Amino acid sequence: MSRRPFTPKVVTANDLLEGDAVWLTSDDQWTRDISEAELIEDEAIAQDRLFFAMSQPNVVVGAYLAESKASDNGPAPTHFRETFRTRGPSNYAHGKQAGV
């Protein structure tokens, strides 16, 4: 049975208190900048990192693995939904884009 090759992922969730998008870094911290996240290229490691995220229910909510790709500036989203999560809504300069 052929399996689709594993594609790179980041672990992402929403912050419990603020509710905004956060990403897991390689040193077990949560960052608000996806480019600082850990880009995971191995399926077993991805599962392991997701379990780690899920073991922090008092820090984050709804952790999941999101498709991502390497860029010159660290991990970057591949799907438009994940892109929106890195910046905020398109009708006002609110959310993460407000701080840029």
Partner 1 sequence: MYTYNDFDENFIRERNAQFRAQVERRIDGSLTEDEFKPLRLMNGLYLQLHAYMLRVAIPYGTLNSSQMHKLADIADRWDKGYGHFTTRQNIQYNWPKLKDVPDMLDALGEVGMHAIQTSGNTIRNVTADHFAGAAADEIEDPRPVAELLRQWSTDHPEFQFLPRKFKIAVTGSPNDRAVTKAHDIGLRMVRNDMDEPGYEVIVGGGLGRTPVVGKVIRDFLPKEDLLPYCEAIVSVYNLLGRRDNKYKARIKITVAENGLEKIRELVEKRFGELRPEFNGFDQNLLSKIEAQFAPPDFRTASTNGYDAHRAANPAFRSWSDTNLAGHRAPGYAIVSISLKAHGATPGDATSEQMRVLARLAKDLGHDELRISHEQNVILPHVHKSDLPALYATLRDHGLATANIGLVSDIIACPGMDYCALATARSIPVAQEIATRFDELKLEHEIGALKIKISGCINACGHHHVGHIGILGLDRAGVESYQITLGGDGTETATVGERAGPGFSAEEIVPAIERLIAAYLDIRESHDETFLETYRRVGLPPFKAALYPEKEAANAA
Give the DSSP per-residue string, the chain. Answer: ---PPP--EEEEEEETTT--EEEE-TTS-EES-GGGSPPB--HHHHHHHHHHHHT-TTTEEEEEEEEEEEETTEEEE-SHHHHHHHH--SSSS-GGGGG-
Residue from 4, 5, 18, 44 in contact with partner 1 (CB under 8 A): 18
- Between 74 and 95, CB nearer to partner 1: 95
Q: State the nearest-atom distance from the C-beta of 47 to partner 1, in Å.
A: 20
Q: Which stretch binds partner 1 (CB under 8 A): 3-11, 27-35, 36-44, 58-66?
A: 58-66
Please identify, among the stretches 4-12, 26-34, 41-49, 84-92, the one whose residues bind partner 1 according to the rule CB under 8 A: 84-92
φ, ψ at 99 (rounded to 5°): -85, -10
* Rounded least distance, CB 44 to partner 1, Å: 26
Which residue in the set 8, 16, 25, 36 belongs to the binding site for partner 1 (CB under 8 A)? 16
To partner 1, the closest distance from the beta carbon of 87 in angstroms equals 9
Instruction: Yes or no: say if 79 and 34 are a contact pair by the CB < 8 Å rule.
Output: no
